[in-house]
């Protein structure tokens, strides 16, 4: 136990050893050290600017903080559970290094606004790193989509054959999911980038602080308007984890498709050996462990979102100790999302398509039935009538164990006299793909054009 706490003047008994360990957050919040030091340096500069510190005191504090940062970077810093958290560990070490001057650093602030500031600085950088990782994955997807712009692929609804598309067109759907994820994170970043520092414990401070100056030093867009809200708000953390949960949901959907496609029953793709593992008992196995694990980790991030929502749901204003529980979900979410994005970005380029299987699947299961209905409409048949005619054609093909292109012209004519020889061009996969030759369509030329447009929409923070 520590002999002295920063709040020990009020107490007559030392903190119980079990309570000390139970309430300490230094085990996990030490990863905020860089941001804690950054915030403290800016705070010291501001205090000197308004005359609370002398320039000499400011310089001594900044020098001491930078030396502590170097100690932590070199893994030479001794963390103390008795000092509870990253903030008090750094402050205690600062006082140890520079003496009484170090005690002046905390003038005009509280650990309440300090930790809120640290977490916002941490998340701001985290969002930028995640956004860049999204862009890297999107680039890998676009490269593969461009290469496979003309590769026929079965499109599914209800996991049943629907209509032919191209593999490139399918990958562009993945790209669009990630576009929304990147946009959500950029929007979230705006609300993250508001500075709580200066709110102190909950009611501000009587010192003549300059919050706008501190915000400028730290790169915040503005200081928070209300001191109670500034120290107790965790919406920004919940919003980040919410965006991350949706991002992981998208990666999970992609993972599910890769697991299905790489199975013997589908046989559409083969993942690189570098992203698969084998079985300890079955020599033939090649398991898609990476997409399976990403799919599994989605539940982990969803759980963090529920945890944060539950954490905040009954808290009165302003700060409460409950909020110590906000960091581990945020930290683990960031780690999980980054790991998942990076492993996906490495896996996609090495994926090998089994084009013959894809082409065969694209033309089976009566995938061009809708094209036949559209053909009849162009011949003057009302769509509902065309739908019924094609349904009967499909039934005939099922009963005779054939696909639609294998039906004879006379058989078609018995269903509708307007059908001519030109129907067979409509029933090919190529004809089906090229019929949708518009923006957002499946024609190979449109897919390539879509890839070109997509490259201009990438969000790359800081570039």
- Distance between CA atoms of residues 410 and 432, nearest Å: 22
Assess whether 250 carries a catalytic annotation: no
- Distance between CA atoms of residues 267 and 246, nearest Å: 29
Cβ atoms of 77 and 23 closer than 8 Å: no
Give me the catalytic one of 242, 279, 280, 387.
279
DSSP state of 277: B
Which residue matches tokens 């809200």? 229
Cβ atoms of 152 and 442 closer than 8 Å: no
Give me the catalytic one of 158, 206, 280, 438.
158
Distant-in-sequence contacts of 15-23, Cβ < 8 A, 24+ apart: 20/81, 20/82, 20/84, 21/81, 23/84, 23/321, 23/324
- Distance between CA atoms of residues 89 and 115, nearest Å: 13
Phi, psi of 222 (to 5 degrees): -170, 160
Phi, psi of 256 (to 5 degrees): -60, -40
First to last CA, the chain: 48
- Distance between CA atoms of residues 65 and 67, nearest Å: 5
- Distance between CA atoms of residues 116 and 335, nearest Å: 20
> Going along 77-225, which residue ranges are E strands?
152-157, 160-166, 194-195, 222-223
- Distance between CA atoms of residues 174 and 257, nearest Å: 11
Query: 153 pairs with which residues across the strands?
Result: 165
- Distance between CA atoms of residues 444 and 431, nearest Å: 11
Q: Residues 6 or more apart from 289 whose CB is under 8 A from it?
A: 275, 276, 277
- Distance between CA atoms of residues 173 and 156, nearest Å: 13
Assess whether 279 carries a catalytic annotation: yes
Phi, psi of 195 (to 5 degrees): -95, 120
DSSP state of 81: G
Angle between helices 444-455 and 111-147 (to 10 degrees): 150
Instruction: To the nearest 10°, report the CA torsion of 193, 196, 197, 201.
Output: -160
Which residue matches tokens 């690189």? 272
Number of CB atoms found within 10 A of residue 433's CB: 26
Catalytic residues: 158, 279
């Amino acid at each position: 136990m520590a002999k002295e706490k920063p709040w020990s003047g009020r107490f007559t008994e030392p903190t119980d050893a079990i309570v000390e360990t139970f309430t300490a957050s230094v085990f996990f919040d030490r990863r905020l050290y860089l941001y804690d030091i950054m915030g403290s340096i800016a705070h010291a500069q501001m205090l000197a600017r308004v005359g609370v510190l002398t320039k000499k005191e400011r310089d001594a504090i900044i020098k001491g903080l930078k030396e502590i940062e170097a100690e932590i970077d070199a893994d030479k810093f001794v963390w103390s559970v008795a000092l509870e958290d990253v903030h008090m560990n750094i402050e205690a070490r600062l006082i140890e290094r520079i003496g009484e001057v170090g005690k002046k650093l905390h003038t005009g602030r509280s650990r309440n606004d300090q930790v809120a500031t640290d977490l916002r600085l941490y998340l701001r950088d985290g969002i930028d790193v995640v956004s860049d990782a999204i862009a890297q994955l999107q680039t890998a997807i676009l490269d593969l989509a461009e290469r496979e712009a003309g590769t026929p692929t079965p499109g599914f609804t209800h996991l049943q054959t629907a209509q032919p598309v191209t593999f490139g067109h399918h990958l562009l759907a993945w790209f669009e999911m990630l576009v929304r994820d990147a946009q959500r994170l950029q929007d979230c970043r705006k609300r993250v980038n508001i500075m709580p520092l200066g709110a102190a414990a909950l009611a501000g401070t009587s010192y003549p602080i300059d919050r706008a100056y501190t915000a400028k030093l730290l790169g915040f867009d503005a200081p928070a308007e209300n001191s109670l809200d500034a120290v107790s708000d965790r919406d920004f953390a919940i919003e980040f984890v919410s965006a991350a949960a949706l991002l992981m949901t998208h990666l999970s959907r992609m993972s599910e498709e890769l697991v299905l496609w790489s199975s013997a029953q589908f046989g559409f793709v083969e993942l690189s050996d570098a992203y698969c593992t084998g079985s300890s008992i079955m020599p033939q196995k090649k398991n898609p462990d990476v997409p399976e694990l990403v799919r599994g980790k989605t539940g982990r991030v969803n759980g963090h979102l529920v945890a944060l929502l539950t954490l905040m749901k009954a808290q009165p204003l302003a700060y409460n100790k409950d909020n110590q529980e906000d960091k581990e979900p945020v930290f683990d979410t960031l780690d999980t999302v980054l790991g998942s994005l990076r492993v996906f970005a490495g896996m996609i380029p090495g994926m090998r398509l089994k084009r013959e299987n894809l082409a065969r699947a694209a033309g089976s299961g009566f995938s061009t039935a809708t094209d036949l209905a559209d053909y009849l409409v162009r011949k003057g048949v009302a769509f509902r009538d065309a739908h019924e005619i094609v349904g009967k054609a499909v039934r005939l093909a099922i009963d005779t164990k054939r696909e639609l292109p294998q039906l004879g012209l006379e058989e078609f004519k018995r269903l509708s006299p307007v059908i001519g020889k030109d129907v067979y061009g409509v029933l090919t996969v190529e004809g089906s793909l090229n019929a949708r030759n518009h923006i957002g369509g499946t024609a190979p030329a449109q897919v390539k054009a879509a890839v070109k447009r997509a490259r201009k929409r990438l969000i790359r923070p800081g570039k």
